[in-house]
Amino acid sequence: MVLSRIAKVSLATVTILGLGVTTLSADTLSEVQKQGFVKCGVDGGLPGFSEVGSDGIYRGIDVDVCRAVAAATLGDAKKVKYVALNAKERLTALQSGEIDMLSRNTTWTETRDTSLGLNFAGVNYYDGQGFMVTKKLGVKSAKELDGASICLQTGTTTELNVADYFRTNKMKYKLVSYDTNDQVVKAYESGRCDVLTSDQSQLYGLRIKLAKPDESIVLPEVISKEPLGPVVRKGDGRWFDIVRWSFYAMLTAEESGVTSANVDAMLKSDNPDVKRLLGAEGQMGENLGLKKDFAYQIIKQVGNYGESFERTVGQGSPLKIQRGYNALWTNGGLQYAPPFR
Amino acid sequence: MLALLRNQKIRGIIFQLLTVIGLVAFLWYIGANTVANIEQRGIQTGFGFLEGTAGFGIDQSPIPYTEEDTHGRVFIVGLLNTMIIAAVGIVFSTIVGLLIGILRLSNNWLIAKLAKAYIDFFRNIPLLLQILFWYNVVLRAMPNPKQSYNFFDTIFINNRGLYFPQPEYNTTFFAILISFAVAFTCVYLLNRWANRRKEATGKDFFVLPWGIALFLLLPALAYWIGGAQLHFSFPELRGFNFKGGKVLSPEFLALAFALTIYTATFIAEAVRSGIEAVSHGQKEAAASMGFSPYQSLKLVILPQAIRIAIPPIINQYLNLTKNSSLATAVGYPEIVTVFAGTSLNQVGQAIEIIAMTMLVYLIISLLVSALLNWFNHKMKIKER
């Protein structure tokens, strides 16, 4: 009796020791295919970027990146499990493997790209930080904000930019920071602060959440560069490539005029660029470890970048944001995908 | 070999040894796993980040802090803010708790029931909800700075906080501060002398009028000696906000209020249980000796009740300190909000930062319990 108990205990000990070290899986694609869905970290409460509609479905330009990756890897854009994260949790959630990718209006910075064990796969929205104030204050420029109380979301680059801006302009401010955008909006509405600062696109998104959107204006100053994009863990090159080229497929489709409406007809196109994109020619899908038609699935189910933009934040949405920097390079914007060949 | 195993003592040792080995192996496994994963991802490790520039602002800091300071200083600021909120909470919840605990046992039906209702209500609502409730009440109910509630142009209340005048730290100010300390010491000594005299001769000596006189005369004297130069900086509405004076933010007020109200209910119950644990005979004995109800409470019941109540009250102090981390919900910049929140997000080294934060709470808790255990030991009934 005693002996067998000893044996069991020692066996357990040896097993634990024998396991040695199990590392986080470095093959996200196989994991995703095995579990049958992509676990994608999003904001969940930011109109235009990622917001749960009244029907319980996530929509937004960030959500579309998740859907594109699901369409590319699993052939079905609906196979995404969304994890709503606040700014403080998001990077840790990705580092620890809780999510497969992060698409949550996250600014690409040197520190985040190098020292956190993360890689930015692209830029799906070029943004810059701005200020929103109530019209009552009579402020016309950010330079007039000396002494103001400023509400913002903590754990963001916003927090750092605002410190830099006020320091370089020799102005003082009072910081009031919260965990989520909802709290920030509530505090701004109740008058806890004079100014709400965030990326400009978010300001427009948050403004429509206010009870009286017309009483607030966004000041003209843009005080920073905020390239927002999807993020993956370092050390899984193939998954990085998949996320990056899923997004580029959307850009390339817009550039060559392929839309979700005409993609089936485009399959018969003679244009070699389109043929390579849709998998009629070349090894694009195989190179990524995916099916030949991965880009076709993205465009069919999610649409090209222009469609996604207009539907979520552009003219087809309440936000009505102009393309601006997010126009294709051929239209004077910054969105540019390397060639599919 | 088998004979050894049949020996109960040796068998016990063997099993304990195996448990320890198993535990160590498990911890080692987790540690090695973490390290390997961190290395594989290329995540930075170590405590070098403490010297890096923080780059973000903190609204309330008891020590000078600017955006150019380091994450190490953020840690200190957060730690101090935690200690401030804990100290304020402990002082006020003790006062309120003691009062409510005694009222709970009042012979007046209404007072006793009101105290019970207060305890039952606030003890059974999660603290986080209470914090958010008070915070929103403060924000919604208070006017904006331009329409502040104005008390004699010196104290202002609005949705940015409670503003009050702040004295300038000059000679007069410090002289008055010292005079208060002297007055306090004098009253303490006087009280001790009076007690001894009473024990020796039975003669009463009323300390109270003397104490009031000391607390009034000594600071007045200090004001005159110190150069009569007491200046205050008054809050004044300039631009968006009030400038000058001192401000208590709505975040701080809501948190301190919620922590006090919540913890006081537990302290009240501890006090009540302490009082009820004193045997009824003691009260009757006091009454039959001709003690007034106040005398019996002060001289017979409370000294015995406090001994019983101290250990559970210590627990509540520790809970309050740990509960102060809920500040993160309203953005009061204590250690969890600024260090384990903002700094963590900026540098991304979760393990180091969370470990440091946990250590802080561990050390604070151990220190508080050591201090109060010492106090408990001192207050213990001395059996001769």
Where do you find CATH 3.40.190.10 in chain A?
28-126+228-331, 129-224
- Residue percentage of chain B with pLDDT more than 70: 97
Partner-chain contact A163 B67, CB within 8 Å:
yes
Residues of B whose CB is below 8 A from A186: 136
**What ipTM does the predicted assembly reach?**
0.73
Q: How far is B33 from chain A (nearest CA, A)?
A: 5
Tens digits of residue pLDDT in B150-166: 777 778 888 888 888 77
Partner-chain contact A175 B59, CB within 8 Å:
yes
Q: Does domain A129-224 have CATH number 3.40.190.10?
A: yes
Tens digits of residue pLDDT in B6-18: 788 888 888 899 9
The whole-number average pLDDT for the span A306-319 is 92
Partner-chain contact B42 A177, CB within 8 Å:
no
**What separation in angstroms does the CA of A177 have from each of A63, A181, A183, B210, B259?**
26, 10, 9, 50, 21
**What are the strands, taking DSSP E only, across B232-366?**
232-233, 236-238, 241-243, 246-248
Count of residues making up chain B = 384
User: Which amino acid would we find at residue B76?
Assistant: I
- Residue percentage of chain B with pLDDT more than 90: 32
Pick among B69, B251, B346 to test the A interface (most A CBs inside 10 A): B346
CB A312 within 8 A of CB A60: yes
Tens digits of residue pLDDT in A21-48: 555 567 899 999 999 999 999 998 888 9
Q: How far is A165 from chain B (nearest CA, A)?
A: 11
Whether the CB of B289 is below 8 Å from some CB of chain A: the reply is no
3-state secondary structure of B165: coil
**Rounded distance between C-alpha atoms, residue A45 and residue A68, angstroms:** 20
Which H or E run contains B124? Answer: none
- Residue percentage of chain A with pLDDT more than 70: 93
User: Greater confidence, A285 or A4?
Assistant: A285
pLDDT for residue A138 is more than 90? no
Q: How far is B16 from chain A (nearest CA, A)?
A: 12
pLDDT for residue A16 is more than 60? no
CB A232 within 8 A of CB A121: yes
Tokens of B51: 């010297």
Q: How far is B346 from chain A (nearest CA, A)?
A: 7
Pick among B41, B251, B330, B343 to test the A interface (most A CBs inside 10 A): B41
User: Greater confidence, B94 or A111?
Assistant: B94
Tens digits of residue pLDDT in A148-196: 889 998 878 888 899 889 989 988 888 888 888 888 888 898 888 889 9
Q: How many CB pairs under 8 A join A and B?
A: 152
Residue A95: which of B11, B33, B41 has the nearest Cβ? B41
pLDDT for residue B320 is more than 90? yes
Question: How much is the pLDDT for B83?
Answer: 92
Q: How far is B8 from chain A (nearest CA, A)?
A: 12
The whole-number average pLDDT for the span A290-319 is 93
Q: Which B residues, 216 through 235, put their C-beta within 8 Å of a C-beta on chain A? A: none
**Rounded distance between C-alpha atoms, residue A171 and residue A150, angstroms:** 13
pLDDT for residue B88 is more than 90? yes
Tokens of A86: 């606040």
Question: How much is the pLDDT for A248?
Answer: 95
Band of pLDDT at residue A6, cut at 50, 70 and 90: low
**What are the strands, taking DSSP E only, across chain A?**
38-42, 45-46, 50-52, 58-59, 80-84, 101-102, 118-120, 125-127, 129-134, 148-153, 173-178, 195-199, 216-218, 226-228, 231-233
pLDDT for residue A96 is more than 50? yes
Q: Which of A114-123, A286-295, B166-175, B257-266 has the lowest mean pLDDT?
A: B166-175
Partner-chain contact A235 B40, CB within 8 Å:
yes
Q: How high does pLDDT run on average in chain B? A: 85
Tens digits of residue pLDDT in B240-255: 777 777 788 889 999 9
Band of pLDDT at residue A8, cut at 50, 70 and 90: low
CB A111 within 8 A of CB A105: no
User: Greater confidence, A225 or B236?
Assistant: A225
**Rounded distance between C-alpha atoms, residue B47 and residue A283, angstroms:** 47
Tokens of B63: 């020590």
**Rounded distance between C-alpha atoms, residue B78 and residue B74, angstroms:** 6
**Rounded distance between C-alpha atoms, residue A307 and residue B312, angstroms:** 64
Partner-chain contact B22 A176, CB within 8 Å:
no
Check residue B72 and give left, alpha or beta (phi > 0: left; psi -120 to 50: alpha). Answer: alpha
pLDDT for residue B303 is more than 70? yes
Tell me which long-range contacts B311-315 makes (C-beta under 8 A, separation of at least 24): B311/B376, B312/B266, B312/B270, B312/B273, B313/B94, B313/B97, B313/B267, B313/B270, B313/B271, B314/B368, B314/B369, B314/B372, B314/B373, B314/B376
CB B71 within 8 A of CB B352: no
Residues of B whose CB is below 8 A from A19: 29
Tokens of A201: 């696109």
Nearest residue in B to A175, CA atom: B59
Closest by CA to A69, choosing from A98, A24, A118, A29, is: A29
Partner-chain contact A13 B350, CB within 8 Å:
no
Residue A92 φ/ψ, nearest 5 degrees: -65, -40
**What separation in angstroms does the CA of B345 have from each of A89, A107, B272, B350?**
8, 13, 45, 8
Q: Mean pLDDT: which of A110-114, A120-124, B154-158 is highest?
A: A120-124
Residue A117: which of B22, B42, B347 has the nearest Cβ? B42
The upper half-sphere exposure of residue B81, i.e. CA atoms within 13 Å in the direction of its Cβ, equals 33
Nearest residue in B to A22, CA atom: B33
Residue A190: which of B56, B159, B239 has the nearest Cβ? B159
Partner-chain contact B348 A173, CB within 8 Å:
no
Q: Which of B31-45, B100-114, B257-271, B298-312 has the lowest mean pLDDT?
A: B31-45
CB A142 within 8 A of CB A221: yes
**Rounded distance between C-alpha atoms, residue A94 and residue A82, angstroms:** 13
Question: How much is the pLDDT for A17?
Answer: 47
**Rounded distance between C-alpha atoms, residue B254 and residue B250, angstroms:** 6
Domain boundaries defined on chain B? 2-42, 71-131+249-379
Closest by CA to A99, choosing from A46, A58, A38, is: A38
Residues of A whose CB is below 8 A from B348: 91-92, 95, 111-112, 115-117
Partner-chain contact A154 B341, CB within 8 Å:
yes
Q: How far is B246 from chain A (nearest CA, A)?
A: 14
Tens digits of residue pLDDT in B108-149: 999 999 999 999 999 999 999 999 999 888 777 777 777 777
Greatest Cα pair distance, chain A, in angstroms, is 85
Q: Which CATH class is domain B71-131+249-379?
A: mainly alpha
pLDDT for residue B265 is more than 90? yes
Tokens of B263: 């913890």
Band of pLDDT at residue A335, cut at 50, 70 and 90: very high
**What separation in angstroms does the CA of B196 have from each of A98, A234, B191, B201?**
69, 75, 9, 8
Partner-chain contact A115 B44, CB within 8 Å:
yes
Partner-chain contact A148 B239, CB within 8 Å:
yes
Tens digits of residue pLDDT in B91-104: 999 999 999 998 99
Q: Mean pLDDT: which of A300-304, B150-154, B224-228 is highest?
A: A300-304
Going by their DSSP bridges, the two strands A80-84 and A118-120 should be labelled as unpaired
Question: How much is the pLDDT for B151?
Answer: 78
Residue A274 φ/ψ, nearest 5 degrees: -65, -40
| CATH dotted code for A28-126+228-331 | 3.40.190.10
Question: How much is the pLDDT for B54?
Answer: 86
Tokens of A140: 């016309």
Tracing tokens 């904001």 back to the chain, one arrives at A43
Band of pLDDT at residue B373, cut at 50, 70 and 90: confident
Nearest residue in B to A158, CA atom: B56
Question: How much is the pLDDT for A14?
Answer: 47
User: Which amino acid would we find at residue A112?
Assistant: R
